[in-house]
Chains A and B, each alone.
With several copies, the nearest count.
Chain A
């Protein structure tokens, strides 16, 4: 049985190591925070915060304290605030060990598309281009196929890119793949998913 959202998030959390500073994207990546266990992970919110805490209790929301998804959050004892130039300075400068992001498409060379569908509503890339260009390791968490059943792991991206050759690892409902020389390498299969099933759902070259 393929992994559900929480299992994908839990698998992504396995990639995080004690002491890391990490940026989590919107959607499934946000759930990763629930699975870091007793590892000492510091979450960055790119609007200007290190040490992001959970959502506030009702009645304790603070309009001056939101995350990059514009949601109300809380601070921790370790929290530090800073401005957007400093925040993206640390992202661009490689100080963030890992970013865990969603995607529309990933290509076998690590190209990533997750910000725009031409002809549809255009919302903008936000901080995604800076994150994938700057952080130490980019881990994509997404469903293996789109709602039409087509593979999201492609030979080449068809959508406008967020970054070129930037993805290091892909975690889907079917398993885990590394981006390596020549294509993708299967690291792990989801419980009950066979290698054939995963290959059948993958357009990208598997090496």
Chain B
């Protein structure tokens, strides 16, 4: 079973269709599947719904699909860095479903784990709870949140072996594992594919069972806010 594909376009071949729900990993511009997003843009597929914590910036990440009007709806927790997003949203061209960040992550993880619904205190008494089932446990009120079952997962990892075992790097892990779990099919881009057997079996962040297709490529890895401190001179 060969999981390794030559490039993003080939890895997505046959998987894209108008109106589909895509779960994407990444937080801000950190750990986003930039190669796959570019290929989705080139494919011209449209009316997409994205479950993704953020919407990228105007010219990077999911933002590039907003420029081309390929996105119908976002399920996100924070979209503050994207001017085109705001324009389309305020003009009614784009739907937006806000999810608290932890609820979004757990909804992805839940779907991947065969859990269609779970209760959380997050958002009780806020607009997030409107229309959702409320239930008491131990005298406290919780709301029911449902799993996000995506048609496709797109994910960025640091390294993979040929069987799709994945390793992430630092905070670029973020939403990638839960996003990978919740799709019917999961396509992953990595910086390096290493021979099977060269990753430590105790240190694999996401086993290959979650990974259907895999590509290796060069990543821009753009920094959104470059903050530094001054060196104290000796």
Interface residues of A (CB under 8 A from B): 18-19, 21, 40, 42, 44-51, 54-58, 60-67, 69-73, 75, 77-85, 87-96, 111, 121-130, 133-134, 160-165
Structural contact, B171 and A48, CB atoms closer than 8 A: yes
The complex places the Cα of A129 from the Cα of B98 at a distance, in Å, of 11
The answer to whether the Cβ of B176 comes within 8 Å of any Cβ in the partner chain is: yes
The answer for the CA separation of A122 and B95 in the assembled complex, in Å, is 13
Q: For B208, list chain A residues within 8 Å (CB).
A: 42, 50, 78, 80
Which residues of the partner chain B approach A48 to less than 8 Å between Cβ atoms? 27, 171, 173-174
Contact of B174 with A55 in the complex, beta carbons under 8 Å: no
Known A64-B172, A66-B171, A83-B174; contact A57-B109, beta-carbon cutoff 8 A: no
Question: Given that A61-B223, A89-B113 are contacting pairs, would A125 and B173 also be in contact in the complex, using a CB cutoff of 8 Å?
Answer: no
Candidates A55, A75, A78, A82; contact of B173 at CB < 8 Å: A82
Kindly list chain B residues whose C-beta atoms are within 8 Å of the C-beta of A45: 171
Tell me which residues across on chain B come within 8 A of A54, comparing CB atoms.
Answer: 229
Given A88-B105, A160-B126, A126-B197 contact (CB < 8 Å): no
- Whether A92 touches B28, Cβ cut-off 8 Å, given contacts A57-B229, A61-B226, A62-B170, is no
Is B125 a contact partner of A164 (Cβ separation < 8 A)? yes
Q: Are B103 and A72 in contact (CB under 8 A)?
A: no
Listed residue (A51, A63, A162) with the most chain B CB atoms within 10 angstroms of its CB: A63
Alpha-carbon gap, A122 to B210, bound state (A): 34
Which residues of B, 198-220, contact A by the 8 Å Cβ criterion? 201-202, 204-205, 207-210
- Contacting pair A78 B170 (CB below 8 A): no
Q: State which of A61, A67, A95, A121 has its C-beta within 8 Å of the C-beta of B210.
A: A95
Which of chain A's residues have a CB closer than 8 A to the CB of B100?
125, 127-130
Chain B interface residues (CB < 8 Å from chain A): 1, 27-31, 53, 76-81, 86, 89, 96, 98, 100-106, 108-109, 111-115, 120-128, 158, 161, 163, 165, 168-178, 181, 196-197, 201-202, 204-205, 207-210, 221-231
Q: Given contacts A48-B171, A66-B171, list 18 more A-B pairs with CB under 8 A.
A: A21-B209, A44-B209, A48-B173, A49-B170, A50-B208, A64-B172, A64-B221, A78-B161, A78-B163, A78-B208, A83-B205, A84-B105, A91-B114, A95-B112, A122-B89, A123-B78, A123-B79, A130-B122
Residue in B1, B96, B196, B225 whose CB lies within 8 Å of A70: B225
Whether the pair B171, A49 counts as a contact (CB closer than 8 A) is yes
Q: How far is the CB of B196 from chain A (nearest CB, A)?
A: 5
Q: How far in angstroms is the closest Cβ of chain A from B213?
A: 12
Query: Nearest chain-B residue to A20 (Cβ)?
Result: B1
**Given A47-B27, A78-B165, A94-B114, CB of A129 within 8 Å of CB of B229:** no
A87 to B77, CA, bound (A): 15
Contacts of B53 in A (CB 8 A): 84
Chain B residues whose CB sits within 8 angstroms of the CB of A46 once the complex forms: 101-102
Give the residue name and chain of the A residue nearest to B222 (CB). A63
Q: How far is the CA of A94 from the CA of B158 in the complex (A)?
A: 26
Residues of A near B225 (CB, < 8 A) are: 66, 69-72
Beta-carbon contact of B106 and A55 below 8 Å: no
Give bound CA distance, A96 to B208, whole Å: 12
**B173 to A129, Cβ gap below 8 A?**
no
Q: A21-B209, A129-B123, A164-B124 given as contacts; is B28 within 8 A of A55 (CB)? A: no
Q: Which 8 A-B pairs have the closest CB atoms?
A: A88-B102, A19-B1, A164-B125, A77-B197, A123-B80, A92-B114, A89-B113, A130-B102
Question: Given the interface contacts A61-B223, A66-B30, A121-B86, does A50 sit within 8 Å of B102 by beta carbon?
Answer: no
Q: Contacts A93-B111, A124-B77 hold; do A81 and B173 have CB atoms under 8 A apart?
A: yes
**Can you name 19 A-B pairs with beta carbons within 8 Å?**
A48-B171, A49-B170, A57-B231, A58-B228, A58-B230, A63-B223, A64-B30, A70-B224, A77-B197, A80-B201, A81-B202, A82-B207, A83-B174, A84-B175, A85-B105, A88-B101, A94-B114, A133-B120, A134-B121
